Amino acid sequence: MKRRAFLKAAAIAFPLAREAGASQPKKPTRFQIACMTLPYSQFPLERALKGIQGAGYRYVAWGTTHAESAGERVPVIAPDAPPQKAKDLAARCRDLGLEPLMMFSMVYPEAKEGLEVLTQRIRQAAAGGIPQVLTFGHTEGGDRKLWIERFRKLGPIARAFCASSDPASQQLIDTILTDGGGDFARRFLEARGLAWAAALIDQSPQAKEP
């Protein structure tokens, strides 16, 4: 095709392509509007969940602590709680027709134990099928360099636990579970080349319990 013929054909094709694209109906943006349990912090968690359900919400975000029996402040999920607790609470929410969308980290990223706690929060979120973990800094600012360093480390951990639905990852999970002998999370991280992250598990308060 000669240059003149090509340009003529292109001049006809491009408007047609635009018209074809314009004729495709655009999908409306869908927002997931959740209610936190935080406004119910002066009441037990169960009361919070039922109140949110009764208000007609489909999505819930877990707050920090709630006043349980005798007014004792109890974390929704403690930072050192095993991931199974997050899985169980997520199941309770879903039984009520509430899909959990977010949980608080309850730690500043620059805190001394920040990396360990955030790693544990990722494990909990993955177990409960929760897509977001909320963390934030001080109003006066924080150590930006440390933030960058820690989030760069947390990225591979989050991907290892939360993006493990591919066949290779599922095969690895099956192999570890079949072989047994040791903590699953530690062995899984080591197999994904994250030995340094596996070592953090030994530093958590939960690991130090007898």
Give how many domains the chain has, as a whole number.
1
Q: Is the pLDDT of residue 19 over 70?
A: no
150 to 74, 102, 127, 159, 180: CA distances (angstroms): 28, 20, 22, 15, 31
Lowest mean pLDDT among 36-45, 69-78, 121-130, 167-176: 167-176
Q: Identify the sign of the CA torsion 162, 168, 174, 175.
A: negative
174 belongs to a structural domain: yes
Give tens-digit pLDDT for 47-67.
999 999 999 999 999 999 999
Q: What is the domain extent for residue 180? A: 29-208
pLDDT value, residue 4: 56
156 belongs to a structural domain: yes
170 belongs to a structural domain: yes
Lowest mean pLDDT among 53-62, 144-153, 169-178: 169-178
Q: Is the pLDDT of residue 25 over 80?
A: no
Express as a percent the part of the chain with pLDDT over 90. 32
pLDDT value, residue 15: 52
In contact, 130 and 103? CB cutoff 8 Å: yes
* pTM (predicted TM-score): 0.65
Q: Is the pLDDT of residue 16 over 60?
A: no
176 belongs to a structural domain: yes
171 belongs to a structural domain: yes
24 belongs to a structural domain: no
Give 10-50 as a DSSP string.
Answer: HHHHHHHHHHHHHHSPPPPP----EEESGGGTTS-HHHHHH
Q: Is the pLDDT of residue 124 over 60?
A: yes
Give tens-digit pLDDT for 134-144.
888 776 766 77
123 belongs to a structural domain: yes
4 belongs to a structural domain: no
